[in-house]
Copies of this chain bind each other. A is one copy, B any other.
Amino acid sequence: VTPQLFGNSSSNSNSSSPGTATVHWIGDKPAYQSGTTFGLPWPRGKHHSENTKFTISGDSSEQIELQSWVTGYWPDGSVKWSGHAIPESENIYNKYTVTAQNGTTSGLYTNPTGSLVVTNASDKLTIHTGKLQVSFPKAGSVLVSEIKTKSGKIIGNDGKLVLQSQSGVANDPSNRGNSSIQHFNFESSIEAVTVSEESSVRALVTIRGKHQVTRGGDHDNWLPFVVRFYLYANSDAIKLVHSIVFDAAANENFITGLGLRFAVPLAGEKQYNRHVRIAGVDGGVLNEAVQGITGLRRDPGAAVRTAQYDGAALAAESTWDPRVSSRLRWIPTFSDYILSQLSPDGFTLKKRTKAGQSWINIPGGTRAGGFAYLGGATQGGLAVGLRDFWKRYPSALEISSAATDVGEITLWLYSPEAQPLDLRPFHDGLGQKNYTDELDALDITYEDWEEGFDTPYGIARTSEITIFGFENTPSRDKLASLTEHINNPPVLVADSEYLKETEAIGTYWALPDTTSTASATIESHLEFLFEFYQEQIEQRRWYGFLDFGDFMHTYDPDRHTWRYDVGGYAWDNSELSPDLFFWLFFLRTGRADVYRFAEALTRHTGEVDVYHIGQWKGLGTRHGVQHFSDSAKQARISQPQYRKYFYYISGGDERVGELMEELLDTDKTYGVLDPNRKVRTDGWTPSPGSTVAIGLGTDWSSLAGGWLIEWERRGSRWEEAKSKLTSTITGIASLKNGFVTGSGLYSLENSTLGPPPTDPQNNGIVAVSHLSAVFGLPEVVSEAIEYFGADLPTGFKDAWLDYCYYFQATAAEQAARYGVSFGSLNLYQGHSRLTAYVANQRGNSSLGARAWREFYTTDGFQATSPWNTTRVEGSDVLAAVDEASWVSTNDVAQYGLAAIQNLALVRESLDDSVS
């Protein structure tokens, strides 16, 4: 089926016929859902927010409470993407059907019957979910002042962020006593607290601030945070999305601990009724009491022992064997516990009676679930968990003072038992003194280094935390179930066919097609590539607080290792759009494992690889040994298109939405940083705030992607974004050689785009790069053309189709059209999707056949590539691995995108007999 680009979507915006869409859980139906948000696309022109009412029902048609909002609009103002939240419920259905009923007057928000109550006082917000009442002060250090259960038990207090840092690190262990190193402690300091306007089913409390020093000397407030608290009707869970930005000098600020801490009131609870629960391996749980009454020399009675293990309140001491009850004072209470996951393979776990006494090894195991509970059998308690705990090592869970009146539970995103987080450069520049040296070095390590550019200043990290409140100590199985829940939070998604039919998320992909040998082979190759990367993450241990979510760029077959230590070949940082490939692979397969993989990628690349503040705000960093070490700061890395799929499918994840907003200022950065500074020969330099040079591929595609999203979202700057997008599209259309021109001068003052410095008269130059169309340009342009529809500035589509046609046209054709051929280029396999695009647009089957020839017979992967892995073990490697030395991530990304898009665009031209 060749997709229709236009005209297929009905424009019956006034129709009263309801639209329906079905969502299902990815993977297995969860055993528990604590309130779920999801996104749904709608066809162009079908539903307008002002007169559409969304409702939802489960398998049984029973109506479920629903909160709805719009995350994206079609140009005509109709709903393109909606976001929805359902409350926690014990009834969990396989599928849910959302109905969009037009012609109502009540608008979107029609379910204010929820149990969720928001009270916004001058000094604090209070959210009552129906199960928990949570108070958020508007100032000070405490983010959550109180968590109270339905029955009135206060189970949590004083929830705050904690941070430790030091001013230096010892050069080696013998220097650890270095007295010049200062050690600082910090707590959260609130700057702003807001709550979502609409909170019928889901309330969102957003708290911004910085970490303020509390001990260790003077230190500026730093490490800005934004923590989003999601509370759902009927829920005993609070979901946090916790983000920080590194805003300090890396050589003077080393994080040694970063966490979230709650106090848990325990006064009045008997020591033997206080329970500690810590998630272990594969659903395992450590089940202990602060004062254990099992395993003693005398038996208090089986009922008492069993009750303690089960977390129930023990019967009155008078019912016990008096040989135990009379000697409770001799049974130590263990007040402190700490589980540290200092490697992705092993955690340690220990406890102590109190500070000043030795720790006792419990001990640990392989990979901890990242979840801990502290509370009492009668007074209830609090649990806190970190998603992907062991994958984000060094992490920790600490319980302290459990034998006192106020216990504490601390989730450490960065374990205080780990070595400091060291974000200094990994080398000293090796003596590189100027661009000549830098380009020479680039030619051997492929690292594009420049003094001062190897800085983490401005990178971010986002973590997902869940807090649960309990009336009593929950059962072991409940805690195991919640551990699974926090690590694999339930996700509702529409099926691939519906997603595709709405044409709301690209028309350049189609469902898997195994109807012919050729297509089935391609499908198997796509599966192979995904599964290979999934397994490489595990085998190569691509885990870590900052690292998890990325993979490597190029393999070193000699050493049987990815080039983790070779300049420009290490962390991939979205090079050539693997994000797009994996998201499209999810869209077409709906596989849960692909979703989790792509989600982790999005959470990493959008945060760690991008500057969120500072002089390079909006740019990302090219692939390198450290995520931020390369001097090529590029918009192509921060490309918002990479996060778009997750954003809409997630129902508008607010953190990702914020990242997209940040990127609206990326264009300004070109005023201070010319991406071509090292190789520019035309002498041009940028005029900050005035005129900047941008590439029509890697630069403009990212700016355009961001503008288009802002326009779709109708964000606060959407008119500005639409204007810039329209203006630059018009500019490109006006260039004599269109995209073939390669770059242009962009005015920061009026957003116009004119010819490049080398062609001020727009006589037409040819500057085609293999990189221009491999960072989202085809996807952004395709979506923009469709979005503008009839309003697309004249000439732009032709400029794009020309680029698509001529990139792999013959030299003669190129010369005939542009006066000069493009010469030897690269990444032809990936660019076959450009040929496919123009073939599809023009209904030209011989062009379609050309696309497939390019796909099969140029560069990249071949039909004759091995398409398998080889086991490497024994002394050849540190640990046994499966290698595919013929695979590079560049090829994977572009092969994947070409395969998916060619199948969507020129399926009918595929020779079905190719295997």
Binding site for B on A (CB under 8 A): 162, 164, 166, 171-174, 176-177, 179, 182-185, 215-216, 250, 256-257, 278, 280-288, 292, 294-298, 305-306, 308-309, 323-324, 327, 329-332, 334, 342-349, 351-366, 400, 416-417, 419, 422-428, 430-432, 437, 440-446, 475-477, 479-480, 540-541, 543-544, 547, 554-556, 558-559, 563-566, 568-569, 625-626, 873-880
For A256, list chain B residues within 8 Å (CB).
173, 176
For A563, list chain B residues within 8 Å (CB).
295
Contacts known (A164-B176, A423-B358); A430 close to B285, Cβ less than 8 A: no
For A295, list chain B residues within 8 Å (CB).
554-556, 558-559, 563, 565-566, 569
Contact A284 B445 (CB under 8 A): no
A362 to B366, CA, bound (A): 19
Contact B626 A358 (CB under 8 A): yes
Contact B426 A357 (CB under 8 A): yes
Chain B residue with Cβ nearest A300 = B444
A522 to B141, CA, bound (A): 67
Contact A564 B877 (CB under 8 A): no
Which residue of the partner chain, among B308, B330, B349, B365, contacts A440 with CB atoms under 8 Å?
Answer: B330
A365 to B362, CA, bound (A): 22
For A443, list chain B residues within 8 Å (CB).
297-298, 323, 327
For A347, list chain B residues within 8 Å (CB).
343, 345-346
For A366, list chain B residues within 8 Å (CB).
345-346, 366, 879
A295 to B570, CA, bound (A): 10
A479 to B877, CA, bound (A): 12
Contact B444 A288 (CB under 8 A): no
Which residue of the partner chain, among B296, B351, B361, contacts A445 with CB atoms under 8 Å?
Answer: B296
A365 to B539, CA, bound (A): 9
Contact B365 A345 (CB under 8 A): yes
Contacts known (A445-B330, A878-B284); A356 close to B400, Cβ less than 8 A: no
Contacts known (A281-B879, A479-B875, A877-B280); A358 close to B422, Cβ less than 8 A: yes
Contact A568 B346 (CB under 8 A): no
For A281, list chain B residues within 8 Å (CB).
878-880
Please give the distance in Å from A330's CB to the nearest CB on chain B: 4
Contacts known (A358-B425, A558-B295); A351 close to B565, Cβ less than 8 A: yes
For A356, list chain B residues within 8 Å (CB).
171, 424, 428
A-B contact pairs, 28 of them (CB 8 A): A164-B174, A176-B416, A177-B215, A285-B877, A287-B875, A294-B558, A295-B558, A297-B568, A305-B558, A323-B443, A332-B426, A342-B342, A345-B345, A345-B346, A345-B366, A349-B878, A351-B565, A356-B424, A357-B428, A358-B425, A360-B564, A360-B565, A361-B544, A361-B564, A362-B564, A362-B565, A362-B878, A480-B875
Chain B residue with Cβ nearest A362 = B564
Contact A343 B348 (CB under 8 A): yes
Given contact pairs A284-B875, A309-B558, A357-B425, a sample of 17 additional A-B residue pairs in the complex whose CB atoms are under 8 Å apart = A171-B356, A177-B182, A288-B559, A292-B565, A295-B554, A297-B442, A305-B558, A327-B443, A329-B430, A330-B430, A343-B345, A357-B424, A357-B426, A358-B626, A362-B564, A364-B878, A366-B879
For A216, list chain B residues within 8 Å (CB).
177
Please give the distance in Å from A403's CB to the nearest CB on chain B: 11
Contacts known (A297-B446, A366-B879, A559-B309); A360 close to B282, Cβ less than 8 A: no
Contact A174 B215 (CB under 8 A): yes
Chain B residue with Cβ nearest A569 = B295
A877 to B215, CA, bound (A): 39
A876 to B282, CA, bound (A): 11
For A556, list chain B residues within 8 Å (CB).
294-295
Contact B879 A284 (CB under 8 A): yes
Please give the distance in Å from A380's CB to the nearest CB on chain B: 19
Chain B residue with Cβ nearest A456 = B358
A627 to B831, CA, bound (A): 68
Contacts known (A360-B426, A422-B358, A440-B327); A280 close to B879, Cβ less than 8 A: yes
Contact B286 A878 (CB under 8 A): yes
Contact A183 B172 (CB under 8 A): no
Chain B residue with Cβ nearest A167 = B177
Chain B residue with Cβ nearest A297 = B446
Contact B172 A400 (CB under 8 A): yes
A470 to B343, CA, bound (A): 32
For A565, list chain B residues within 8 Å (CB).
292, 295, 332, 334, 351, 360, 362
For A257, list chain B residues within 8 Å (CB).
173
For A345, list chain B residues within 8 Å (CB).
343, 345-347, 364-366
Contact A296 B566 (CB under 8 A): yes
Which residue of the partner chain, among B323, B332, B876, contacts A287 with CB atoms under 8 Å?
Answer: B876
A877 to B443, CA, bound (A): 55
For A427, list chain B residues within 8 Å (CB).
332, 353, 357
Chain B residue with Cβ nearest A447 = B330
Chain B residue with Cβ nearest A876 = B476
For A177, list chain B residues within 8 Å (CB).
166, 182-185, 215-216
The 3 closest A-B pairs by CB, nearest first: A177-B183, A345-B346, A346-B346
A638 to B879, CA, bound (A): 41
Chain B residue with Cβ nearest A396 = B173
Contact A878 B285 (CB under 8 A): yes
A441 to B359, CA, bound (A): 21
For A308, list chain B residues within 8 Å (CB).
558
Chain B residue with Cβ nearest A168 = B356
A476 to B346, CA, bound (A): 27
Which residue of the partner chain, among B250, B332, B541, contacts A365 with CB atoms under 8 Å?
Answer: B541
Chain B residue with Cβ nearest A344 = B346
A292 to B442, CA, bound (A): 15
A547 to B362, CA, bound (A): 12
Contact A547 B294 (CB under 8 A): no
Contact B874 A566 (CB under 8 A): no
Q: For A182, A363, A877, which residue has the most chain B Cβ atoms within 10 angstroms?
A: A363
Contact A878 B280 (CB under 8 A): yes
A256 to B877, CA, bound (A): 31
A174 to B408, CA, bound (A): 14
Contacts known (A425-B357, A440-B327); A282 close to B880, Cβ less than 8 A: yes
Q: For A361, A547, A626, which residue has the most chain B Cβ atoms within 10 angstroms?
A: A361
Which residue of the partner chain, among B284, B305, B348, contacts A342 with CB atoms under 8 Å?
Answer: B348
Please give the distance in Å from A536's CB to the nearest CB on chain B: 13
Contact A292 B566 (CB under 8 A): yes
For A288, list chain B residues within 8 Å (CB).
559
For A166, list chain B residues within 8 Å (CB).
177
For A430, list chain B residues within 8 Å (CB).
329-330, 332
Chain B residue with Cβ nearest A254 = B358
For A626, list chain B residues within 8 Å (CB).
358, 360
Contact A875 B419 (CB under 8 A): no
Please give the distance in Å from A324's CB to the nearest CB on chain B: 6
Which residue of the partner chain, among B284, B348, B442, B879, contacts A282 with CB atoms under 8 Å?
Answer: B879
Chain B residue with Cβ nearest A177 = B183
Q: For A292, A431, A475, which residue has the most chain B Cβ atoms within 10 angstroms?
A: A292
For A419, list chain B residues within 8 Å (CB).
359, 417
Please give the distance in Å from A294's CB to the nearest CB on chain B: 4
A323 to B323, CA, bound (A): 83
For A446, list chain B residues within 8 Å (CB).
296-297
